[in-house]
Structure 1
Amino acid sequence: MYKIKNSIKKSLEFIKDGVRSSKSVILANVIILFIITPLMVTLTRFILRMGDIPYLSYDTVGLIVFHHPIVLCLLIMMLFLLVSTIYFEYTFLLLTMYFIKNKVAISLRQLARETIVQMKKLKVNNFLFFLCYFILLSPLGAIRFHSDLLSKFKIPVFIVDFIFENRVIFVVLFILVYVSLIVVAIRLMFTLPLMILKDYTFKEASKISWQQTKKHFKSIVLQFVFVIGTIAVIALIVNGLVIGIQELADTYYQHQSFYVAIVLLTLLQFNWVVNLVLTTIGIFFITISNMDKLGYLPDIKEIFSSVNQTTYRKISWPQKAMLTLGGVWLVISVLSYNYLFLTQPSIHRPLTISHRGVDNGNHVQNSIEALEMTSKDTRPNFIEMDVQETKDKEFIVMHDFKLNHLIQQKGRPNEFTLKELQEMTAKEHGKEAKLVSFDDYLKRAQELDQKLLIEIKATKQDSPDMIDRFIQKYYSIIKEEGHEIQSLSFDVVKELKEKKPDLYVGYIMPFTLAGTPEGDMDFYSVEYTTLTKNLVQTMHNQDKKVYVWTLNDTDTMNRMIFYGVDGVITDNMTLLNSVLSRDIKATTYADKLLYFLIGMG
């Protein structure tokens, strides 16, 4: 009973401190979200443009490292600036909670000045530890403060699916690593605060943190679970009530539902800000509270003797006027955005694209049988399929770069001739099918009058003239039949558009860290977990189409259609046709609020 009462007391104290520190948290996130992040993206794109590098992706890394040393040095400097900014944010928020814990009134100007003072004392050990702890450990271990900069680094779902699919040992190892990182993150949670607040060396701070958290590990874990869990539950309840109220308004008060939606969307945004503030300071609250309990929190006079410990400086009339104007501008901006979000969704019917030619596991991927069944039964606008070069410079229809998954044979497709590959049998979904040449697949698609979205799977082993031969052999039929091409290799996309500008070619983007690439591609193909409505709008402003992959559930399909995507790639064409069979413009306001909540607009 004592532990429960103590936990409730701590939670109430945390909420009170959260309200007091909200101004600092919001200010830090606003500066980073609207100033630092756009600036860094712009600088990164400028640096890449200096080296005539269109995009930061896996296939441009080698080019940058070996042929553009100046660009490499500048990008390293950008990484240093990024980590320094996140370190500043961390220190700023740590000091915020420290002063609140010591009941010290401090202005934002003083807080920023003291943060800069601490930054000037930054040692190499502090910086390296921060780099490892918050960029390598925390995003995976889920023990980190919320940062709009760090939130850019997330693992797309398709990578997680690839790791987990039919790989039990990887699932076990992933869980073990995940749990281990959480444990390490907690055991070292006092290290950086001790280095900042008490000027301890890394060795001293990490030793103390490791020893003290060993003694109080269970208590600290319970605090994290209780505090963060409480925040999540409250946010979930509020969001659920908002969506429920909007559904009632859509059903029974249709004439007023739009005005209700504007109010409730604003409430959702407010709830998001509150959740952001509380989540952000959660780790600092727990850290500072435990340091104080263990006697490792320094006295305010030891390190901040110049700080005003009584009252905040009074706000002048000019400052009040600026704050008032800022508040009015914020309200107008929010309401204008909400109005546009609810009234101009740019909904249109997207192209339907069958992923690897299958429909809900009807046959083996990339097989003639799947092509025939899916084309006849669901009639997609396009069937997406994969092409790789073989050992004898022909083309085989296959997705995987290794044969062991579908064929149960060692080796890569480019280590075998086309004839050898055509004798192999792929097994999937309880079905069997022979591997097929691109020529045969293309011919059967022509007979079925079925358009294809051809993905060229490039490898380092491909012959130098692979694209030239592909164009020479298939250009005419691709143009005649209206097929489209896409590739994960930017070099392939660039070469195709340079040599045959009239081909319709897209670039597959698994990540969106540094904005969209510059180039002559006709469309982007984007993994759905990294796609937002704003990104779709940005791509459309560049006069590029947006295809999204791989959508296999009704809610995600509806959300992406609401975002205004131009093509949906799915493993379940039957489901997609069902979703599109209703009036896609009949999306309710409750749906729109939910889509905003999921994708944050």
Structure 2
Amino acid sequence: MPLWLKFKERFINLRNYFPIYFQSVFFLRLLQVIVVLPLLSYLFIQVLKVTGLTSITENNLMVAIQNPLALVVIALIGLTTVFFIYYEQAYYVVLAYLQRSHQDYHLRTVLRKIHRKARYFLSFQSLLFLLYFVLILPIASLGMSAGLADNLYLPHFIGDELVKSTQGFFIYFGSLLVLFYLSLRLIYTVIFFVIEEELSIFGAIKKSWQYTKGKCLKTIGFLVITLGIYALMIGLVTATLLLPLIVIEPLLSVGAPFVAGFILTLLQIVLFFSFGFLQMVLADGLLCFAYPKLEQASPLQPTSKPFLFKRPFFFYGALSLFFLIAFGANAASLTKILYQPNTQIVAHRGYMAGGVENTISALQAAAKQGADYVEMDVLETKDHQLVVFHDRTLSRLTNRQESISELTLAELQEITVHSGGFEDKIPSFEEYVQAAITAEMKLVVELKYYGWESPEMEANVVKILQKYNVTQSYLVQSLKEESIVKVKALDPNIRTGYLVAFNIGNLPATSADFVVIEEFSLNERLVEQARQVGKGIMTWTVNEEELVRRALRLNIDGIITNEPSQAKRVRQSFEENRTLVERVKELL
């Protein structure tokens, strides 16, 4: 069958089975919201209870892992997550298979076929499925992800750090290419596993690997075309729905927010269900690649029997009620006066597009970009002096292999660092503070620890801040709770921050004045908890415009970014009077 006819047939199939797909997406999301997420939340609360922790961070992870009861509950969390990911992927595959093979089916028929393979998830093979899912994440992110997997991605700061060096660049993108290749080779695993009753998870992985040999380009072509059509359709629908608002807003200032609320709610529902429809089209297409005879079957005909609801009236009634509630909330949100974010823009290690990180030239470039603060790193040298540098060794910025602990401050100050076409000298902490005062730039001082530091390091930092009378305007942060406790004891005027690389659960317990959460872990609940206990909250390292907007919507205290000019521009856009169309796009 010609390629264009294959896509035409799939979209005809989507139209014919629209009510069934509509109910299926609703069913899966309802299952996730009322069963899976509450269960995972309950299990995680039990982990915190048995360990006595408020949250799990990189600093206390071993406490949870070393507790036998907590480890059992963590295993249950993993098992539940893996099973539901399988459940959602398998659901669409089974539904497509029953339709293609012209079998009589109901929701119970679909679930029964899925449940037949559930026994494999009570064995070590569940670990194989977890490994499989990690390997197909690059494909999952292109439209095949399950609801629980929507926010699974490599934290941005890891990629940002890796690409700063040539070696890291090749490691990072080389790893992505390998993962993408593995994704393509394993993409049929769930299809084979759920359709062929005798296959184990391992057997399905093996069969997918064998089947895809020499067929990757065909799979890529299908994915690219399908996702391209989907993106085009969503773009057209969005533009069409926004068009009336563009026309009405200048003419009907009073009623326009209600029209905008209606359109926003409609768009949210369209986006919510359309992703499920996309998964159905992808599952149907890949199923036909795996079993070509199914594609040669006679044209599909929709079933006349009820699928999920015997009386669809109740389903559509519930959906209408949800629409009205969402419409009311959206209309109220759109009529609110726009707030002006108090969020401070913090240039990460200065402005690296204007100088080498952590150098005075990068500090001055950040000041020209209008940053509110510059974040910088302080290390201790061989002679227990303070130097502004981030890495343990000199290799990334100088191609020298010595560590900072092997050289004195005087020796380090003679070394030239290179990056991004710029070069500069390594400054001492005192020189850097002097330059910041001259540039009228406030600092966020991060204390870095690699194991060789003296007990006087914090006191030496505080002495310099006191010497230049900046203890009430500069901030000091660290990954080590004990170090910020020492700083606070030495000078209560200094506002201290506890830096967290990842956080699962509640706001981390800390004596610091503010918490600095990695962007991957930041959410509205943590912001609200910080406000309730009177602590500030910042996030790092936020470089993408969409993520900057998300942080500004939360109105947190600070955004640490490599792109201070972009962040400042986005912040200014929040402070201006935006049209309702712009507000709708923002909320989407």
TM range (shorter): 0.7 to 0.9
Q: Please list every run of 5 or more consecutive structure 1 residues that lacks an aligned counterpart in the other structure.
A: 298-308
Residue pair 2:56, 2:503 contacting (<8 A) in 1 also = no
**TM-score between the two structures when normalised by the length of structure 2:** 0.82
Using the TM superposition, give the Cα deviation of residue 529 of structure 1 relative to its aligned residue in structure 2, in angstroms. 6.7
Residue pair 1:418, 1:437 contacting (<8 A) in 2 also = yes
- Superposition pairs of residues 484-563 of structure 1, within 5 angstroms: 484-489=475-480, 492=483, 503-511=494-502, 513-514=504-505, 516-527=507-518, 536=527, 539-540=530-531, 543-550=534-541, 557=548, 560-563=551-554
Aligned to 2:334: 342
Residue pair 1:446, 1:481 contacting (<8 A) in 2 also = no
Residue pair 1:355, 1:550 contacting (<8 A) in 2 also = no
Among residues 469, 472, 477, which one is paired with 1:481 in the alignment?
472
Among residues 355, 359, 364, which one is paired with 1:363 in the alignment?
355
Paired AA for residue 193 in structure 2: M
Residue pair 2:189, 2:205 contacting (<8 A) in 1 also = yes
CA distance in 2: counterparts of 1:173 and 1:500, whole angstroms = 43
Q: Is the counterpart of residue 424 in structure 1 residue 423 in structure 2?
A: no
Local SS of the residue matching 1:486: strand
CA distance in 2: counterparts of 1:314 and 1:408, whole angstroms = 64
Residue pair 1:507, 1:521 contacting (<8 A) in 2 also = yes
CA distance in 1: counterparts of 2:216 and 2:419, whole angstroms = 47
Q: Deviations over 1:30-80 (max 9, x none)?
A: 332454235424532441353234433333334444x54443443233223
Local SS of the residue matching 2:199: coil
Paired AA for residue 363 in structure 1: G
CA distance in 2: counterparts of 1:176 and 1:294, whole angstroms = 37
Q: CA RMSD in A?
A: 4.1
Local SS of the residue matching 1:363: coil
Using the TM superposition, give the Cα deviation of residue 258 of structure 1 relative to its aligned residue in structure 2, in angstroms. 1.3
Local SS of the residue matching 1:547: strand
Aligned to 1:407: 398
CA distance in 2: counterparts of 1:437 and 1:26, whole angstroms = 60
Local SS of the residue matching 1:402: coil
User: Taking every aligned residue pair, what percent have the same amino acid on both sides?
Assistant: 21
Local SS of the residue matching 1:481: coil
Aligned to 2:299: none
Aligned to 2:277: 278
Q: Deviations over 1:130-181 (max 9, x none)?
A: 11211233346746732222223212333223333352x6555555544444
Aligned to 1:82: 81
Using the TM superposition, give the Cα deviation of residue 327 of structure 1 relative to its aligned residue in structure 2, in angstroms. 3.5
Q: Is the counterpart of residue 25 in structure 1 residue 25 in structure 2?
A: yes
Paired AA for residue 331 in structure 1: F
Q: Is the counterpart of residue 353 in structure 1 residue 353 in structure 2?
A: no
Q: Deviations over 1:558-586 (max 9, x none)?
A: 56434423323344555555665677051
Q: Is the counterpart of residue 6 in structure 1 residue 6 in structure 2?
A: yes
Using the TM superposition, give the Cα deviation of residue 17 of structure 1 relative to its aligned residue in structure 2, in angstroms. 4.2
Paired AA for residue 150 in structure 1: A
- Structure 1 window deviating more from structure 2 (135-144 vs 382-391): it is 135-144
Using the TM superposition, give the Cα deviation of residue 278 of structure 1 relative to its aligned residue in structure 2, in angstroms. 1.8
Residue pair 1:143, 1:186 contacting (<8 A) in 2 also = no
Q: Is the counterpart of residue 227 in structure 1 residue 226 in structure 2?
A: yes
Using the TM superposition, give the Cα deviation of residue 463 of structure 1 relative to its aligned residue in structure 2, in angstroms. 3.8
Local SS of the residue matching 1:361: coil
Aligned to 1:56: 56
Using the TM superposition, give the Cα deviation of residue 454 of structure 1 relative to its aligned residue in structure 2, in angstroms. 1.4
Local SS of the residue matching 1:32: helix
Aligned to 2:448: 457
- Superposition pairs of residues 548-587 of structure 1, within 5 angstroms: 548-550=539-541, 557=548, 560-571=551-562, 573=564, 584-587=575-578
Residue pair 2:86, 2:190 contacting (<8 A) in 1 also = no
CA distance in 1: counterparts of 2:170 and 2:403, whole angstroms = 27
Using the TM superposition, give the Cα deviation of residue 385 of structure 1 relative to its aligned residue in structure 2, in angstroms. 1.6
Residue pair 2:398, 2:418 contacting (<8 A) in 1 also = yes
Alpha carbons of structure 1 residues 183 and 407: separation in structure 2 relative to 1, 3 Å: closer
Q: Is the counterpart of residue 326 in structure 1 residue 318 in structure 2?
A: yes
Q: Deviations over 1:97-120 (max 9, x none)?
A: 333334455444564455434313
- Superposition pairs of residues 376-387 of structure 1, within 5 angstroms: 377=368, 380-387=371-378
Alpha carbons of structure 1 residues 88 and 422: separation in structure 2 relative to 1, 3 Å: same
Aligned to 2:382: 391
- Superposition pairs of residues 154-233 of structure 1, within 5 angstroms: 154-167=153-166, 171=169, 174-197=172-195, 198-202=197-201, 204-214=203-213, 217-233=216-232
Alpha carbons of structure 1 residues 153 and 233: separation in structure 2 relative to 1, 3 Å: same
Using the TM superposition, give the Cα deviation of residue 268 of structure 1 relative to its aligned residue in structure 2, in angstroms. 1.7
Using the TM superposition, give the Cα deviation of residue 360 of structure 1 relative to its aligned residue in structure 2, in angstroms. 6.8
CA distance in 1: counterparts of 2:187 and 2:420, whole angstroms = 47
CA distance in 1: counterparts of 2:325 and 2:16, whole angstroms = 29
Using the TM superposition, give the Cα deviation of residue 233 of structure 1 relative to its aligned residue in structure 2, in angstroms. 1.9
CA distance in 1: counterparts of 2:180 and 2:543, whole angstroms = 31
Alpha carbons of structure 1 residues 264 and 367: separation in structure 2 relative to 1, 3 Å: same
Alpha carbons of structure 1 residues 191 and 463: separation in structure 2 relative to 1, 3 Å: same
Alpha carbons of structure 1 residues 13 and 133: separation in structure 2 relative to 1, 3 Å: same
CA distance in 1: counterparts of 2:76 and 2:456, whole angstroms = 37
Among residues 306, 311, 315, which one is paired with 2:305 in the alignment?
311
- Structure 1 window deviating more from structure 2 (262-271 vs 214-223): it is 214-223
Residue pair 1:231, 1:278 contacting (<8 A) in 2 also = no
Using the TM superposition, give the Cα deviation of residue 483 of structure 1 relative to its aligned residue in structure 2, in angstroms. 1.7
Q: Deviations over 1:421-454 (max 9, x none)?
A: 2332323455443322223333554566643211
Residue pair 1:407, 1:425 contacting (<8 A) in 2 also = yes
Q: Is the counterpart of residue 40 in structure 1 residue 44 in structure 2?
A: no
- Structure 1 window deviating more from structure 2 (471-480 vs 153-162): it is 471-480
Alpha carbons of structure 1 residues 378 and 290: separation in structure 2 relative to 1, 3 Å: closer
Paired AA for residue 438 in structure 1: F
Q: Please list every run of 5 or more consecutive structure 2 residues that lacks an aligned counterpart in the other structure.
A: 297-302
Local SS of the residue matching 1:355: strand
Residue pair 2:417, 2:423 contacting (<8 A) in 1 also = yes
CA distance in 2: counterparts of 1:490 and 1:409, whole angstroms = 32
CA distance in 2: counterparts of 1:237 and 1:219, whole angstroms = 27
CA distance in 2: counterparts of 1:129 and 1:369, whole angstroms = 50
Q: Deviations over 1:521-550 (max 9, x none)?
A: 433434557656676556545644343445
Aligned to 1:433: 424
Paired AA for residue 565 in structure 1: I
